Structure 1
């Protein structure tokens, strides 16, 4: 499924800086989550999907690639100083996504429901809001 030039420009505009400060990490993780989980909409519906669902159609390799991209979000959480319990929860989200996602067809449908990267983003946002309140963004 090709990406239109408008969609590409919108995604590229959202790519964050590469700093290590909590603001940059938050922006980077939010951008990656959007690309993996909500970059596109199923035509005729309001159901979002992302590269996690698309790449998942490639047997085994697709699930390993999306697991590696999800692991990057966990790694960013580790760099933020998140607790081991939070990192274990995030890793478990990715593990469930990868294990069920490896089942042909069922796994692809599961990717639309179990958005491990969105779940992990919520965990990171909760941590940032508590420990780095200056990174909060008012969403409207």
Structure 2
């Protein structure tokens, strides 16, 4: 019978915890999915994530989602993205946080703006250009050869 530590080690071994661009890409894709597309709202069939749900809690929810968005920018910084791209990503998080703090209007804005999806798009475009070996097509990692 496997011990709890063996079970933990097996699960931890499957997580993308490396600092390489492919691991960072998988981590940020997972974070974006949790923040923007975790649940489907019945009736309208539109995906909603923790960003919109936690954002319903005044002040605390916006701080939590801003911290998660800032973590995505931090990961991009660690990859060596340009300051221009980092500022665009930070701007998306800032706009989302500032407008998301407005009661009711901010909640609707969180539902529509999806700053984390925008930031993931910026990151993927940069990774595809600077680290093409991380590119994924139809669920498969694509290796480009010169």
TM tier, smaller: 0.7 to 0.9
Q: List gaps (5 residues or longer) in structure 1.
A: 1-11
> Offset at 1:46?
2.1
> Offset at 1:106?
0.7
Between the aligned partners of 1:50 and 1:23, the Cα distance in structure 2 is 24
TM-score normalised by L of structure 1: 0.87
- In structure 2, the residue matched to 1:66 is 65
- In structure 1, the residue matched to 2:86 is 87
Q: Count how many residue pairs are aligned between Structure 1 and Structure 2.
A: 127
> Offset at 1:44?
2.0
For residues 95-130 of structure 1, what are the alpha-carbon distances to aligned partners after superposition, in whole Å with 9 as ceiling and x for unaligned? 000000000111111111100000000000011000
**Secondary structure in structure 1 of the residue aligned to 2:64:** helix
Between the aligned partners of 1:36 and 1:139, the Cα distance in structure 2 is 22
**Secondary structure in structure 2 of the residue aligned to 1:134:** helix
Q: List gaps (5 residues or longer) in structure 2.
A: 1-10, 140-146
Contact preservation (8 Å) 1:16, 1:27: no
- In structure 2, the residue matched to 1:56 is 55
Between the aligned partners of 2:79 and 2:15, the Cα distance in structure 1 is 17
- In structure 1, the residue matched to 2:46 is 47
Residue 25 (structure 1) aligned with residue 24 (structure 2): yes
Between the aligned partners of 1:100 and 1:113, the Cα distance in structure 2 is 12
Report which of the two structures shows the higher radius of gyration computed on alpha carbons. 2
Query: Whose relative contact order is higher, 1 or 2, with alpha carbons under 8 Å and at least 6 apart?
Result: 1
Deviating beyond 3 angstroms after TM superposition, the runs of 4 or more aligned structure 1 residues are none
TM-score normalised by L of structure 2: 0.84
Between the aligned partners of 1:112 and 1:33, the Cα distance in structure 2 is 14
